[in-house]
Structure 1
Amino acid sequence: MSDSRKRRRPLVADRRYATASKTARKAKAKPKAKPRKTTRRKAPQRRRGGLIGLVQRLIGWVLRLVWRITWRAGLVASVVLGLFVGYYYTTLPDVTELLDGRARGSVTLLDNEGRVFAWRGDQFGGAITTETVSPHLRNAIIATEDKRFHRHFGISPRGIASAVRINLSEGRGPLSGHGGSTITQQTAKLLCLGIPFDPTVQSEAEYEADCRRGTIKRKASEAIYALAMEAKYSKDEILTIYMNRAFLGAGARGFEAASQRYFGKSAANVTAAEAAMLAGLLVAPTRFAPTNDLARSQNRAATIVRLMNEQGYLSDSEAKEAQANPAQLSQAAEARAGGYFADWVMSSGPEFFTRKTTEDVIIKTTLDQRIQAAADAAMDWVFENKIRPGSKAQAAIVVMSADGAVRAMVGGRETKVAGAFNRAVQAKRQTGSAFKPFVYAAALDLGYSPNDTVVDEPITIDIPGSGPWSPRNYTNRFYGKVTLTDALKDSLNIPAVKVSEFVGRDLVRQVASEFGLESDLAAGPALALGASESTLIEMTSAYAGILNGGSSVQPYGLIELRLLGDDEPLMGTGGGIGERVVQEAAARQLIYMMEKVVSEGTGARAQLGGRQVAGKTGTTQAARDAWFVGFSADYVAGVWMGYDDNTPLTGVTGAGLPAEIWRETMARVHEGVPAKPLPMMLPSNTSAAREPQGGQEGGGGAVGLLEGLLRDILGGGGTSSRPGAENVHGPDR
């Protein structure tokens, strides 16, 4: 048993961990190897076979090919674009050279007191900058035209995409209508991509049309030019160019000119409402010009005020103030006074300083805006109160001083216009009995008296090539022996023809021509009855010659012309009193006779209360034209009325509506003007019974009449070469 216990192993657990020393020795003896990093190789993907795999491989190859081509093409395009931009960059001049881009100059017209009343040509008010204009104006432009102006690099992809979307939604082409152009692109268009205007190559209209082309190629060129401008100029410089070159209606180039034209103030001083109205002109200058339709322009400005408010340029209170007090035109712009007058001055002045000027010209004129307003008001009043609604009848008025200085002109019933047909200077119409004063002027100049007599009786005159002609009076009655004064006062036709035949048609033509009737005067006996044509301004200036004592008058509107910035005028008055036509005594006696026309005769409707006035009515054959021309001691005025197409007037003679228009005009003209007597000469009593005897050959005589007819023309014993013959009778009153 003892042997067996000795052989047993002790019941002790085996040691699982070696001692530290043993472990260290083992490590020293054999360093532990670092585990290797093994990279697992992915199992090769199996390509999908069949048709699907082929399609996938083909698509992948195409995409890789497209990518290679795209980035290479993009690189080439970027290089080309950079070259184009670089080219345009090198052609861009200094900013100051781009501010005034007008192809022609401007004409500023001043009235007789030196106040501006009209503009013509391309008005440029002077260079402005973003720093010198009102902040409201700068903000209104950006809010209206390009709200991302300070954030883009010349073109706005977002704006272009929006414009394309709007155009397509409105049924137009993608590039038709809204363009999505930035202010920089619009400036590039205004600069016409740097191509200057050359009048020897194309007209201004063709040049403007070429600059505004909307083709894809043109749009691309504008975008490139815009990028070059962004590289060359600052944002403020680009906006400065834009503000100076933009066309804003009524001939205004640039916001300074527009501000002066519409509001009579500098662009530095415009209010928020005025700035909004100016900015609103950019989209359609003619349509939204306040001188064409103020209400439409104000509505457009209200929209822009809302945009300025939404974009933070105006507070709610400021926007409310601008909406409650919309911009109003200045007095000169609102009145549009002298539209016809300004047109006449421009047409009568030297072409190289008016219609085709390349300079900025200042013209001082004879226009009196008070008198112009009086003429406008008279025309409006008569057509509103005396003419039936829908009538197409027209009228014209001219008011001048005795020396020919034109004070007012209305060329048609639309008084506030410019560039319209001016009936006062362009319409040649038969003058009717308004011509008769020149017949009697010839007789008086020969020594006859207003109290000399002539027999009013039937006569017939043979006119070679036309046959017998028998003038008749308006009343179809004959009055026997009448004085020259009564014959003119009652506008009797037969005495006028007799006097004309007696003194000679050549002399009558000469007197009328020297008084300023430049049109071809009739050769036959109907000359005495106003068968010749003339313009209203010619007739009025001829009557001015009677008022001033018998000297000719050249009507004029220009007092002096000078260039902007110059003190010395380049030219002065181009008209005035000329050579004497008849003796002063003859002119004074004629004034006496014409005063009787108004105070006792056919011109009674032209009376001005206690003020002495003189004049003469005139109505042509079939009442196609009706006239009244007359004067006070201060002013001469002429009125014509008729249809542009020569349609006869209904129930109108010179003694009617023209005399009323004349009275309404002259009553307003003379408000506050002290009454003066007419410079007339009363005839002496000793000549009252004298009847001129004998005749003298003149103007070819009365061809076909017996030689003794001229001996009896002024003394009675009427002769008829063909008794009972009745041809067209002459004009009446």
Structure 2
Amino acid sequence: MSPSGNGGRPPRKGQRGLVADRRTKSASPPRTASARRAPRRRKQARTRRTGILGWIATLVRFVLRVIFGMIWRSAVVLGIIVLGAAAYYYTLLPPVGEVVDARARGSVTMLDRDGNVFAWRGEQYGGMIDPDSVSQHLTHAVVATEDRRFYRHFGISPRGIASAIRINIREGRGPLEGHGGSTITQQVAKLMCLGVAYDPSEWESEAEYETDCRRTTLWRKIQEVPFALAMEFRYTKDEILTIYFNRAYLGAGTRGFEAASQRYFGHSSSELQPQQAAMLAGLLVAPSTYAPTRNLERAQRRANLVLGLMEEQGFLTAAEADAARAAPATLSDAARQETGGFFADWIMGAGPGFLTNETTEDVIIRTTFDPAMQAAAEDALADVFTNQVSEGSGAQAAIVVMSADGAVRAMVGGRETQAPGHFNRAVQAMRQTGSSFKPFVYAAALNFGWRFDDLIYDGPLTIDIPGSGPWSPENYSGRFYGEVTLTDALRASLNTAAVRLSETVGREATRDVAEGFGIDSDLADGPAVALGASEASLIEMTGAYAGILNGGSAVTPYGLTELRILGDDRPLIGQEGGIQDRVISEEAARQLTYMMAQVVANGTGQRAQLPDRPAAGKTGTTNSARDAWFIGFTADYVAGVWMGYDNNSPLSGVTGGGLPAEIWRQTMERIHVDIPPRPLPMIDPIAEAQPAQPVQQAPQAQGERRPDLAEQILMEVLGTILNGN
């Protein structure tokens, strides 16, 4: 068929063409010049209508396109940098087991004589724990408190950071001060100091290093991002929690939740109840502030907030949360007692440094410490200062209690009994001993064969001291009492008799006895050595008196009985007693004990008398009453008390037979409350009595009058009226 649809024939004249043909011809009519100018006129019209606004809109669109282009390109570059940094950190991250213990040094745990913990030194680490080994309440408390989206993010939370910045600004702080908005992963990054290990050559101390690690700066926050990402790739969520559980500092010298659980509650972290777990989790924000050993009530309030978060996030039912609030966490007995700080400090100084202050191991030390005796000494000191010392007085006191073999049972180094690290006056203070030194003079004489009832002349005495001139000692009363027995001379603390006896037996003999009993400080060379002109510490003097009690053998005061490394059954150091070489004969010690018992019974130490058992001791008061002492013993224990001012100012109205004897009495009454009375190891004066013969008598000076019988009788009752040295 032809295209025309007419059999190929052309249309006849007058015949119309096909409709399709007409449509085809008119489909694209030729454009006239006016038609071609129409779009241009419309564009110009639009331009005239928009004017300057159109140009501004165009410019804005262009700028936005440029900015968007820069942003996404910068984001790509930044992403590459962050991923690169994360990859770098990833290669540096060690296995979890190598980073759980953050300490550069070890710790020391001290046990009392019964094996109970009473003190800690250094940062305690309880051993590695993980989310599978701890109570689930602990994991829930930590996540609820620190990072509720922990299991859903990749190490950082932009929303959390933005919220923290907003809160900080609203509360008037800098954007990075206060709330950090950090995830648990970021906190672990900070605990790991972004992978920078502690180098002793670069830091003065580990504490300074850790302080720097905890500083929050913009650059540190930026660094945390790739480090946190690297941790998320390197470790599982549970492994990140494991590092957190072990490295977090939780106050009171505890590192990690296991150590904190043991320190505060006395049991493992696997046994934590909801209220205990909430209290530990609440410490993370401010360990020192919320430590329950510092303020239990404040720690309990913080724990209640954590319990509320746990309930809110579904970790606890309402009933469980209410039950936990109704029974708040409390401290264990060991954590509550807060005692023995001075004793613990002494142990740290007495033990080998590489196993105490500088140890890199975790050390367990068993000691001679007795918490009940410590409480007795502290209570006695507090009672006397509260009721018998002027309010606001700056006077200080120290107490040492020990057994006859030198085992120290209690130590009070000052009135601030709850604060370890203070100046320990029981050990560190070197003070003149006054008449508390006199027993060594009599010990030397007795050891040479003198007897308790031998006579010594108490009268004027002048000794020429080369380089110093004549020296004449005087008695506290200002009087002399003629021939007196050694017992009466010691009971009344007569100075001239003591000096004359020391000069008779020889100063060196007196010095040898004192040094033999453990007075290690330099002793005076002159005759005043007999009157306690030399200095000594309270623990030295108490240890020396222990030598008298045990029959005449020196002791070395000790407190450490066993030292071992945590986890080892075999001790590295052990000690069973402190008795050393014999200094005086047992007979001399028994006579001296009797003489010192008379000091307490009817001499200068009457205020130290105990109601149910005999006691022996000696008072001591130095020149101008700068130091006041009372040291004495029963058949079971020795105790020494010193009182004075740290600046060496004179005491007002205080002598050794006064407040120090009172503190001693109250301490020993409390200590012996459940101990049956026993007799002192001393002679029976009646059985051993013999006619007294004067063994040394001073020549009578011209015009000197011998004391009459009335004065001799007066001397017998002198002890009841003297409260001096």
What TM-score do the two structures reach when normalised by structure 2?
A: 0.88
After superposition, the C-alpha distances for 1:618-672 in whole angstroms (9 at most, x for unaligned) are 1112222111111111111111112222222222111111111111111111122
Q: How does 1:58-207 map to 2 (within 5 A)?
A: 58-202=59-203, 203-207=205-209
Superposition deviation, residue 484 in structure 1: 1.0
Residue in structure 2 matching 1:505, options 507, 532, 550 = 507
- Counterpart Cα distance in 1 of 2:617 and 2:558: 22
3-state DSSP class of the match of 2:289?
Answer: coil
Deviations 1:79-126 (A, max 9, x none): 111100111112212222221121111111111222222121121111
Does the residue aligned with 2:632 lie in a helix, a strand or coil? strand
The answer to whether residue 385 in structure 2 is matched with residue 383 in structure 1 is yes
Q: Say whether the 8 Å CA contact 1:189–1:212 is kept in structure 2.
A: yes
Unmatched 5+ residue regions in structure 1?
Answer: 1-25, 696-707, 718-730
| Change in CA separation of 1:533 and 1:304 when aligned onto 2, cut-off 3 Å | same
Of 231, 234, 252, 2:233 maps to 231
Distance (Å, rounded) in 1 between the aligned partners of 2:467 and 2:54: 108
- Superposition map of 1:565-576 within 5 A: 565-573=567-575, 576=578
Letter in 1 for 2:369: L
Distance 1:304 1:431, change over 3 A: same
Contact 2:455/2:696, CA 8 A, preserved across alignment: no
* Aligned residue type for 1:171: G
Matches within 5 A, 1:414-429: 414-429=416-431
- What SS is found at the alignment partner of 2:285? coil
Question: Are residue 589 (structure 1) and residue 591 (structure 2) matched?
Answer: yes
Question: Which residue identity lines up with residue 539 of structure 1 in the other structure?
Answer: M
Q: 1:693 aligns with which of 696, 699, 706?
A: 696
CA 161–502 in structure 1, closer or farther in 2 if over 3 Å, else same: same
Counterparts in 2 of 1:381-420, with a 5 A limit?
381-420=383-422
Letter in 1 for 2:324: A
* Farther off after superposition, 679-688 or 471-480: 679-688
Question: Match of 2:436, SS?
Answer: helix
Tell me if structure 2 keeps the 8 A contact 1:104–1:356: yes
Q: Which residue of 2 is the match for residue 725 of structure 1?
A: none
Distance change in 2, residues 1:81/1:32 (3 Å): farther
Q: 1:603 to 1:273 in 2, by over 3 A?
A: same
* TM-superposition CA deviations, 1:687-729 (whole Å, max 9, x none): 542212389xxxxxxxxxxxx899xxxx999xxxxxxxxxxxx
Give 1:537-616 correspondences, 5 Å limit: 537-573=539-575, 576-616=578-618
Q: Which residue number corresponds to residue 256 of structure 1?
A: 258
CA distance, structure 1, for counterparts of residue 511 and residue 22 of structure 2: 142
Percent identity for Structure 1 against Structure 2:
62
Conserved? CA contact 1:620–1:732, under 8 Å: no
Structure-2 separation of matches of 1:258 and 1:686: 65
1:675 aligns with 2:673: no
Q: Which residue type is aligned with residue 120 of structure 1?
A: R
Residue type matched to 2:163 in 1?
S
Flag the 1:605–1:548 CA change in 2: closer, same or farther, 3 A.
Answer: same
The aligned residue for residue 519 of structure 2 is 517
Please name the residue that 1:351 is paired with.
353
Whether the 8 Å CA contact 1:455–1:716 is kept in 2: the answer is: no
Contact 2:604 2:724 (C-alpha < 8 Å) held by counterparts: no
- Contact 2:618/2:630 (<8 A) preserved: yes
Q: Aligned-pair distance for 1:513?
A: 0.9
Secondary structure at 1:562 match in 2? strand
Residues 37 and 663 from structure 1, CA distance in 2 versus in 1: closer, same or farther, beyond 3 angstroms?
farther
In the TM superposition, residue 33 of structure 1 has moved relative to its aligned partner by 7.2
The Cα of 1:186 is off from its aligned counterpart by 0.9
Q: Does 1:243 align with 2:245?
A: yes
Q: What does 1:438-517 correspond to in 2, within 5 Å?
A: 438-517=440-519
Change (3 A) 1:54 1:560: same
1:665 aligns with 2:683: no
Relative to 1, partners in 2 of residues 1:36 and 1:653: Cα closer, same or farther, differing over 3 Å?
farther
Q: Which residue of 2 aligns with 1:23?
A: none
Q: Would the alpha carbon gap of residues 371 and 57 (structure 1) be closer, same or farther in structure 2, given more than 3 Å must change?
A: same
For structure 2, which runs of at least 5 residues remain unmatched after alignment? Answer: 1-15, 30-37, 709-722
CA distance in 1, matches of 2:584, 2:528: 22
639, 642, 645: which one aligns with 1:643 = 645
- Tell me, what secondary structure is at the counterpart of 1:665? helix
Change (3 A) 1:645 1:293: farther
Mean CA deviation greater in 667-676 or 315-324 = 315-324
State the 1:330 CA deviation. Answer: 0.6
Name the TM-score, length of structure 1 as normaliser.
Answer: 0.87
339-348 vs 112-121, greater mean Cα deviation: 112-121
1:268 aligns with 2:276: no
* Alignment-derived partner of residue 5 in structure 2: none
Q: 1:205 to 1:29 in 2, by over 3 A?
A: closer
Q: C-alpha distance in 2, partners of 1:306/1:473? A: 74
Moved more, 542-551 or 233-242: 233-242
CA 37–354 in structure 1, closer or farther in 2 if over 3 Å, else same:
farther
What is the alpha-carbon root mean square deviation over aligned residues? 2.8
Query: 2: CA distance between counterparts of 1:569 and 1:162?
Result: 54
Distance of 1:269 and 1:404 partners within structure 2: 40
Matched AA of 1:305 = L
Q: Which amino acid aligns with 1:108?
A: T
Letter in 1 for 2:435: S
Letter in 1 for 2:175: P
Q: Which amino acid aligns with 1:125?
A: G
Alignment check: 8 A CA contact 2:549 2:681 kept: yes
Query: For the residues of structure 2 that align with 1:329 and 1:613, how far apart are their CA atoms?
Result: 39
SS at structure 2 position matched to 1:214 = coil
| Distance in 2, Cα, partners of 1:370 & 1:177 | 44
Aligned partner of residue 175 in structure 1, secondary structure: coil
Distance (whole Å) between structure 1 residues aligned to residue 175 and residue 251 of structure 2: 28
Provide the rounded CA distance (Å) in 2 between the counterparts of 1:271 and 1:173: 38
The number of residues matched between the two structures is 679
Q: Which moved more, 1:290-299 or 1:306-315?
A: 306-315
Aligned residue identity for 2:507: R
Give 2:291's aligned residue: 289
Distance verdict in 2 for CA 1:32–1:479, change over 3 Å? farther
Give the aligned partner of residue 9 of structure 1: none
Which range is displaced more, 128-137 or 398-407? 128-137
Alpha-carbon shift at residue 405 of structure 1 (Å): 0.9
- How far apart are the structure 2 equivalents of 1:133 and 1:416? 32
CA contact (8 A) 2:106 2:362 kept: yes
SS in 1 for 2:290: coil
Q: Partner amino acid for 2:134? A: V
